[in-house]
Structure 1
Amino acid sequence: MPSPHIGLARRIFARLGFLLGLCLALSSGCTPGTEITKDREPRVSPTTSTLPIPTSASSPSGSLSATFPVTTPPRLPSAKTTSAPHPSRVASPTVTKAMSPVVYETSLSLMTYDYQSALLPTTPDDPVYPYPRLDHNKVGPPSPRTYRALVLENRYLQLTILPELGGRLYRWVDKASGHNLFYSNPVLKPTHWGIRGWWLATGGMEWALPLDEHGLSEATPWHYTIERHPDRVSVSLRDVEEHSGLVCTITVQLDDQHSYFTLIPQITNPTRDPVRYKFWINGMFSLGSPQAEAGLQFILPVDRVMVHSSGDKDLPGPGKLMTWPEFRGRDMSRASNWQKYLGVFAYPAITADFMGAYNHQTHLGVVRVFPHPITRGAKIFSLGDIPAAVWTDDESRYFELWAGLAPTFWDEVTLAPGQTVSWQEYWYSVNHTGGFTYANEQAALNLALSSTTVEVAAAVTSALEGPMRLWHNGRVTASWNVSLTPGQAFRRTLEIAPAQSAGVWKLELRDDRGRQIAMFREEIGRTTRWNAR
């Protein structure tokens, strides 16, 4: 814990750095609460504020004042064949009518407990200073409150950002299914979790800095800027974290060709001292189900994990290791096999460039693609037996996907004076793939083997035509010419004799120019994953 004087100096230098950033932004025509058009002429819109924003009287509580229709295409059936089929073209209709990406401001009404009147100021000797703590006994009942909302949308997805609540991504509507992939709590209710002794389980995706367990600024307003271009739109959220003095910027971008959203975190140390800190992205998901754990499978491409916390006495304790995905005969990738709450980290760090989850009941999945040498931390968490009344007033549930710079919550990273760390990652949905065993920013593949069947699937993030081939022991077993668009998975099941399952299997997807888009290879008892474009 730095001394109060060092902390004060850091905050002063951080503010100076922030003002310098504003000056630079002004010189380029970009200011908080403004939008930038293709001709670089700023259009002024209201800056971020904690004041309520009037909404239409016809807008229901918890819904945007502006809505857009989404289409739900029919599910593609899984065909079975007894032998390798001849190449065939599988057409995939467009998810929605073509549209340029758009971004606009609106408002969102949410039932909110009166926690602000129960906030307690802290002193410099408090580890969370200058952020407030909370007297839970003085929290008032919920009532409707209006929040500013920023909406980004293209033909495949719609995102909603709440800048007043930590700049979080609150909704992610997948237009192919019509579902919100995030968990969006219908009521903002302070829990006893978090490093401050309270945390709003708002839902969506939050940015935890500079400490673990949800950080310190997930409930404070963030500045934002909007940019518009013919082929892409973006919102940049910016906060001077007052405990460490670090400046955090999160840019969310949509383009006109892809079903993913691009996430660009950037953390800068404008102070004169090195800063040790933690940074984690926390995504809270439901994948279209109010009972998010039913049918849930975690995709974490490691063979060992470290336990963070658990209520299951049959599992190792905090800081201990366990095999993954199977541990003592239990498939721990399936949330249905979790008897209690559980959180685990990839150990010793994540070594692949993807992770995610898939719900086998809603047939929806979420994929995260990222540079693992930079973001080495990957954590999953599910609530298990914790009652929903802890965080909400209905029975809705969620699970969490965490992504951090350090491997675990117990580790830190250091940012030198004037240093910046930044990276780019991609998040997208998959539908009716049965899961995925490999993913990159262009496609997700699934190769599932049993003693009598081989199931293959592919989902893409932009329109693609080309061959997809299944190999067994160096020979092509099946081949298809596929025409794919986002939201429409290619999926087939082949029947095989039990003796044929042994050996090396490979699934690859190429484009119509022969370039390899994605490839997954599995050997019985051994699996490797890579992108060999």
Structure 2
Amino acid sequence: MRYLLPGRAAWAVSLTRTIVALVTLFSVATQLAALSVQPSTATFSLDTTTLTIPQVDYESAIYYRDGDPYPHLDFERVDRRRTVRKDHTAVVMENRYVKLTLLPEMGRVYSFVYKPTGHETLWQNDLVTVGGAANDTGWWLWIGGVEYTLPGDEHGTTWAMPWSWEIIENSSRRKAVRMRVREPGTGLEESIEIAIVSGRAFFEARICITNPTDGMVEYAHWVNPQWTPGGQNELTDRTEFIIPTDRILIDERWQENLGPSPQAWQGNPLRFIRGWSRMGDVMADGLTGGFYSAYSHDADEGIVRVFDPDKTPGVDVWTYGYHPTQIPMGSGGPNAGYVEMWGGTSRTYPDERWPLAPDASLQWTEWMYPYQRTQGLTFANEDAAINFQVTPEARRVVIGLCPSGEWRGAVELWRESVHDAADGRAPLRRWEVTADPATPFIKVVILEGLMASEFNDLRLRVGSDQDGWTIVEAEN
């Protein structure tokens, strides 16, 4: 999230420069598409290549201070009128459902294409540019994708550090790359293992933060995905932000824009991008589940992060607001913006930090995957995204299930307790389901025999006796 934007006036570029940026963005998209030409259903690959991404001419304006390990930027020396083409080492991992592009020397996921729809899920700047940020470097790079940040503050500093990397697995079962960085101010070390497996739409991230120093270190780690579900490289008008929480918190500096703190989350206008009149961010005040998502109801498509809420309990959502006018597209062209849905080891952003003892480490695994045609989301784990919504006055129930891979099982609709299905009772409805990321399951059911008050007792049971059952409560 950003609120310090030096040089905004300089972004009022000429039409010629805008056209150049659009052409270069098309060139990047063409490069990404050319990395795999109409793959078959058996595609499962890992390739290293060079990806050329246009950027403003800023690198000559980077400088260092004596005794300061961080790169700083002299904004007056940044030539925003000059575009240069930057070559990046890229690793492309692909299976039948997704194509994932890493910029490993930056520790960044750059592209995540959902092949059933052909849509890019991550925002990408048409011309990479720079702006101010409240961290120890004093700036940030508007490039897009997913970043992994230490040690706290706005975007941290590890985005600006060189990362080492290696391919650690390239088997018929799994493709994996390990990226590593040392945060110079704290001495903390981060290792991220990014992997895809055959036949799954997720990428898996195994993250480890280690303190190799002889002192206690206060820190926060935040994952920052910049999402634009729907394939438009901007938020669609009916994008929903889905967080399993009862209420949200709003920092004092954003309350003029977004309202008082705390606020109840159910029915809150801020659940949809249309409810954000201006920029700002909101924080979940505790979680009731280990997932969050952005869903484009216009495209009927979303993306979800699944994680252990005990290891990463923080969720912070930032947007520029609905139909903003100053999105930092390097070309100066119009854009409706993206959503940053941060996930952190601290509950609140950006000042809260937790201690890590000498020689101690924190490790966790998380998953991120696109899903479609569920009409929203109520629950997710690494296996499936499930929507279960009831409208009592219309006697309507919506049930959607989009798995991250091939899925077979039962979907059952129950009243009241479903924990004792062995007592001979039968569900109200039952479906035997075979689904995959390209063919999700969706049902809209009208229950004329129930009173409106009885819809609050509905439960969904999903799974099988062999693989186990998941109970999902309805969202009204």
Same fold judged by TM-score > 0.5?
yes
Q: Which amino acid in structure 1 is aligned with residue 376 of structure 2?
A: G
Q: Quote the Cα distance in structure 2 between the aligned partners of 1:204 and 1:388.
A: 19
Deviations 1:86-131 (A, max 9, x none): xxxxxxxxxx6133x321101111111111111232344xxxx321
Look up the match of 1:64.
31
CA pair 523-443 structure 1, distance change in 2 beyond 3 A: closer
CA pair 310-202 structure 1, distance change in 2 beyond 3 A: farther
Normalising by structure 1, report the TM-score. 0.76
Deviation at 1:510, TM superposition (A): 1.6
Q: Quote the Cα distance in structure 2 between the aligned partners of 1:519 and 1:199.
A: 42
Deviations 1:279-324 (A, max 9, x none): 100000111123315211011010111114765626446xx32221
CA pair 102-310 structure 1, distance change in 2 beyond 3 A: farther
Of the structure 1 ranges 190-199 and 251-260, higher mean CA displacement relative to structure 2 is found in 190-199
Alignment of 1:114-513 (within 5 A): 114-124=57-67, 129-140=68-79, 141-164=82-105, 166-195=106-135, 196-226=137-167, 227-287=169-229, 288-308=231-251, 313=256, 315-316=258-259, 320-327=261-268, 331-347=269-285, 349-384=286-321, 386-393=324-331, 394-396=333-335, 397-408=337-348, 409-450=350-391, 451-452=393-394, 453-473=396-416, 476-497=427-448, 500-503=451-454, 504-511=457-464, 513=465
Q: Quote the Cα distance in structure 1 between the aligned partners of 2:470 and 2:37.
A: 32
Look up the match of 1:522.
474
Q: Which amino acid in structure 1 is aligned with residue 264 of structure 2?
A: T
Structure having the higher helix fraction is 2
Q: Match of 1:60, SS?
A: helix
Deviations 1:181-229 (A, max 9, x none): 0111121100223413311121110011112211112133211010212
Tell me the C-alpha RMSD between the 2 structures: 2.3
CA pair 366-389 structure 1, distance change in 2 beyond 3 A: closer
For structure 2, the residue ranges without an aligned partner over 5 or more in a row are 1-25, 418-425
Of the structure 1 ranges 384-393 and 435-444, higher mean CA displacement relative to structure 2 is found in 384-393
Q: Quote the Cα distance in structure 2 between the aligned partners of 1:458 and 1:198.
A: 41
CA pair 372-70 structure 1, distance change in 2 beyond 3 A: farther
Q: Indicate if the aligned counterparts of 1:444 and 1:518 stay in contact, CA closer than 8 A.
A: no
Task: Using the aligned pairs only, state the percent identity.
Answer: 28
Q: Match of 1:421, SS?
A: strand
Alignment of 1:83-122 (within 5 A): 97-99=41-43, 101-122=44-65
Q: Quote the Cα distance in structure 2 between the aligned partners of 1:483 and 1:214.
A: 41
Q: Match of 1:400, SS?
A: strand
Normalising by structure 2, report the TM-score. 0.85
CA pair 410-488 structure 1, distance change in 2 beyond 3 A: same
Q: Indicate if the aligned counterparts of 1:181 and 1:286 stay in contact, CA closer than 8 A.
A: yes
Deviation at 1:367, TM superposition (A): 1.3
Q: Which has the higher contact order (CA 8 A, sep 6+)?
A: 1
For structure 1, the residue ranges without an aligned partner over 5 or more in a row are 1-58, 72-95, 525-533
